[in-house]
Amino acid sequence: MEEKRNPIAVIVTRFGEIKIELYPKKAPNTVNCFISLAKKGLFDNRKIRRIAPGFVLQPSYSDFEDERCAISLDGEYRNNGFPNDIPFEQGTVAMGGEGNIASGSCFFITLTDEAGKRLDGGYAAFGKVTEGWEVVEKITALPTEKVDIGIPGVDVNEPIEPEYMEKVTVETWGVQYDEPVILEKEG
């Protein structure tokens, strides 16, 4: 029996494409959420909001200021009791979050192996950059300005000239992925 191929996400920028292999066996609900948002076009034409040199490239830390992207997931990572063994290293793609909750839209790309050591086990890793690392490097080399988001220890630098993810698509090789299981909003 042929093993199914992992989905491949493609992020299109003015510098070229970034290809990310997604790992549904390691973080199924996180992958489902990413695919769902990409299919709905909710990552398209989004400004890249955070560059932390030597640490992460994070398109959004605030759900793109879009209620449709304000999704919370049960964090699929070791510190939350989930057996996710994707190593955090240069090119690992994961969802941001806090405590046991992972964001459904605030994904980031780890820029160095050293940064990965700080993140390992505490965030929902769900993919790896397989092509287009030179595009990641061009984006992270852009001039930035510091943005104070009011969270001590969180380094946020936004590109001075807006930089965008023009389009995000996912090749699923004909496999249908479920809608994600999202956590109910409090309040």
CA dist 94 and 107 (Å) reads 5
Residue 181 lies in a domain: no
> Could you give the 3-state DSSP secondary structure of residue 16?
strand
Q: What is the pLDDT of residue 64?
A: 63
Give residue-wise pLDDT tens across range 10-65: 999 999 999 999 999 999 999 999 999 999 999 999 989 899 889 999 987 766 67
Domain hosting 106: range is 8-171
Q: Which of 78, 129, 132 is nearest to 102 (CA)?
A: 78
With respect to residue 100, please indicate whether it lies within any of the assigned structural domains.
yes
Asked if residue 130 is part of any domain, the answer here is yes
- Residue 82 is assigned to a structural domain of this protein: yes
**What local confidence, expressed as pLDDT, does residue 156 receive?**
79
CB 7 within 8 A of CB 155: no
- Phi then psi for residue 61, to 5 deg, are -115, 5
Confidence band of 104 (pLDDT split at 50, 70, 90):
confident
Residues 1-10, mean pLDDT to the nearest whole number: 84
Given a cut of 60, is residue 2 above it in pLDDT?
no
- On the question of pLDDT at 174 being above 60, the answer is yes
Q: The domain spanning residue 87 has which CATH number? A: 2.40.100.10
Distances (CA, A) of 150 to 62, 106, 155, 164: 12, 17, 10, 24
What is the Rg, in whole angstroms, of the alpha carbon atoms belonging to the chain?
Answer: 15
Q: Name the DSSP letter for residue 77.
A: S
Distance CA 29, CA 121 (A): 17
Residue 12 lies in a domain: yes
Determine, yes or no, domain membership for 179.
Answer: no
- Mean pLDDT value across the chain: 90
Query: 56 phi and psi, to 5 degrees?
Result: -145, 155
Could you tell me if residue 184 is inside a domain? no
Say if 178 falls within a structural domain.
no
**What is the tens place of the pLDDT at every residue in 111-152?**
999 988 889 899 999 999 999 999 999 999 999 998 877 767
Residue 66 has pLDDT above 80, yes or no: no
* pLDDT bucket at 187, cuts 50 / 70 / 90: very low
Q: Which SS3 state, helix, strand or coil, does residue 32 take? A: helix
**Taking the model in full, what pTM does it have?**
0.92
Q: What is the mean pLDDT of residues 63-74?
A: 80
Contact 55, 153 (CB under 8 A): no
Confidence of residue 3 (pLDDT cuts 50, 70, 90): low
How many structural domains comprise the chain? Answer: 1
CA distance 118 to 122: 9
CA distance 45 to 61: 16
